[in-house]
Structure 1
Amino acid sequence: MSNSYTKAAFCILMSPADATMLSLAVKAIGILDTVSDDEDLKLSFDALGVRFGEVFPAKGPNAFGSFLDLIDDPAHPSLGCDIDIEEPGTEGLCSVTFSGEQVEIEVIARLIFTACKSALPCAFEWAHGMDRLRVGEFGGGCVVITAAGIDYHNTRDILDRVITRTIADPDEAVDGFVLALADQEHGLSFWNNDHGFGRLGLATVFSEDEATRFDKPIAHTEPEWLAMPAPLAFS
């Protein structure tokens, strides 16, 4: 037999109020691990305070329903890590350290996104491995959390992407296409599905299949597809 690990150790800054929410989340995990009676759960939920109830409102008869939505296995709720909260610093923010060898990556990401808005945007890295050298059992990744949502990236996808780019024809647009419109006065502008033509930084990136099926908007000249260059990180 062998043991597998999903390790992480990272620190982010947040408001004292959000740091308090993390400490309440840890208490909630403990409650769910030891209390099963519905009435006792409701009393314990109320004892966590008004703000906890606002962030994680009850769902019908299930007081902890919204909180359990964060958890991968509600029958065995866990964060898989220790959370160490320091006193506010000179800027009024708390340094919060997450560390563990069985970190529930998606649970932690969802918790930060839901309860720690003052920490956004933020990101953290994680690593996966085993105590035996088994092929395909090692890797890692990172999580990027913004007000818009959560993005997960792992080394397997990054490796596949690098290999694809290495063997692909440089003109195949591994990273997709943008729709460009040329104007004699303003130069190039680029299509965004929400706002129309504008600057490149807001452009919608299409896959080859999406570009083929896309109905180009009518403009004073014919918009043209341009291949996205490889990002510097993968050059």
Structure 2
Amino acid sequence: MAQALGEDLVPPSELQDDSSSLGSDSELSGPGPYRQADRYGFIGGSSAELGPGHPPADLIRQREMKWVEMTSHWEKTMSRRYKKVKIQCRKGIPSALRARCWPLLCGAQVCQKNNPGTYQELAMAPGDPQWMETIGRDLHRQFPLHEMFVSPQGHGQQGLLQVLKAYTLYRPEQGYCQAQGPVAAVLLMHLPPEEAFWCLVQICEVYLPGYYGPHMVRGWVGG
């Protein structure tokens, strides 16, 4: 059932260091707009709580309460109120509840429950040197102006490294694709690494099966 819901919801050489695009150190660490992060964690973003195009606060609260009620009895909700879930998804999931809703909607919570300890084993295991080198070169490219990913030693980049490495060990025949990085990074903005990993698994294997792979590299080179 989660797959059916997803089908409706889902509408996808040497690398040079492009960190210069971030601006100087003084721009990032000194006074000014680059130092302040907005409510989504992006440095230099709008600090306004609600801007043009955002729904009013009372409407957001109403949507939050609906999601709280639906997720509190998830199996019953999916069996009896499936159409309502689809409607609410299309209206948008409030940011405050994405960590609660995403694993339920994509089936990651079930995968995690059925595979206890799997992520911990993968996270602790050494990665394939080939993939570790490639992943390491890409880390700074993932949302470099988000507070989680600014520092190479920060928990964001390290968590991203672990999640992407874990997937290469979980599916060694598929390995790593550069396009997985932004997806995993967004998941980590809302979820702990283990939950982000299982959401990534579902995205790669249920929602976009076969999408991430060597053919994508050929597509980029050719186009």
TM range (shorter): under 0.3
TM-score (normalizing by structure 2)? 0.27
- Normalized per residue, the structure richer in helix is 2
Structure richer in strand, relative to its length? 1
Q: Which has the larger radius of gyration?
A: 1
